[in-house]
């Protein structure tokens, strides 16, 4: 008599059905895969808005209002920094936050997992961008929120 054909489980064989761990679910479930891809697209979009589009406008933002060639959305003053120093200080505040967070984010992703850290950074970036928008008319608060935004942009 021939032996019966073994039942294969989801990942196992010989009648054993292995449990699906969360990181494997993305490869199996189309819904989870689609959600993950959409979160990634949203993160790329927010990063493009926060950095790539904003970066060329820093010289316009730091030119004090009332100066020749200034824009109505410029900072009223740069808190004692000159034009050149303020132009470099705004992106430096974000990059300093990224440098500090880069030391920690790898350790946290090993401890908590990559997806929770990415989601924390994604939502933190969105909140940071909203706060930067709300404080866009004051130089030092804008730089502070730019630094905090850099802290969560180190994904």
* Whole-angstrom distance, CA of residue 93 vs CA of residue 65: 22
* pLDDT (0 to 100) of residue 68: 82
What are the pLDDT tens digits along the chain (155 aa)? 555 544 444 444 444 456 766 666 656 777 877 887 887 787 777 777 766 777 777 888 888 877 787 788 888 888 888 888 888 898 899 889 988 988 888 888 888 877 788 888 888 888 888 888 888 888 899 999 989 988 887 65
* pLDDT (0 to 100) of residue 154: 65
* pLDDT (0 to 100) of residue 9: 46
Can you say how many angstroms the Cα of residue 1 is from the centroid of all Cα atoms in its chain?
A: 62
Residues with Cβ within 8 Å of residue 80, at least 6 apart in sequence: none
Angle, to 10 degrees, between the axis of helix 139-151 and the axis of helix 83-112?
30
| The two three-digit tokens of residue 11, written as one number | 């990942």
As to burial, measured by CB atoms within 10 angstroms (0-12 exposed, 13-18 middle, 19+ buried), residue 92 is middle
Phi, psi of 67 (to 5 degrees): -75, 155
Maximal C-alpha separation, the chain: 96
* pLDDT (0 to 100) of residue 13: 47
* pLDDT (0 to 100) of residue 124: 84
* pLDDT (0 to 100) of residue 26: 59
| The two three-digit tokens of residue 15, written as one number | 């009648």
Measure the N-to-C terminal CA separation of the chain; round to a whole number of Å.
Answer: 59
DSSP 3-state assignment of 13?
Answer: coil
* pLDDT (0 to 100) of residue 140: 92
pTM: 0.67
């Amino acid at each position: 008599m021939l032996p019966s054909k073994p039942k294969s489980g989801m990942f196992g064989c010989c009648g054993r059905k292995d449990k699906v761990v969360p990181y494997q679910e993305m490869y199996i479930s189309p819904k989870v895969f689609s959600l993950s891809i959409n979160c990634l697209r949203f993160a790329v979009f927010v990063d493009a808005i926060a950095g790539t589009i904003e970066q060329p406008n820093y010289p316009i933002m730091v030119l004090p209002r009332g100066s020749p060639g200034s824009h109505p959305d410029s900072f009223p003053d740069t808190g004692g920094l000159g034009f050149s120093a303020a132009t470099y200080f705004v992106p430096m505040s974000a990059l300093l936050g990224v440098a500090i967070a880069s030391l920690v984010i790898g350790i946290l992703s090993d401890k908590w997992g990559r997806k929770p850290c990415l989601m924390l950074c994604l939502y933190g970036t969105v909140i940071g961008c909203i706060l930067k928008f709300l404080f866009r008319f004051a130089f030092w608060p804008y730089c502070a929120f730019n630094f905090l935004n850099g802290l969560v942009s180190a994904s």
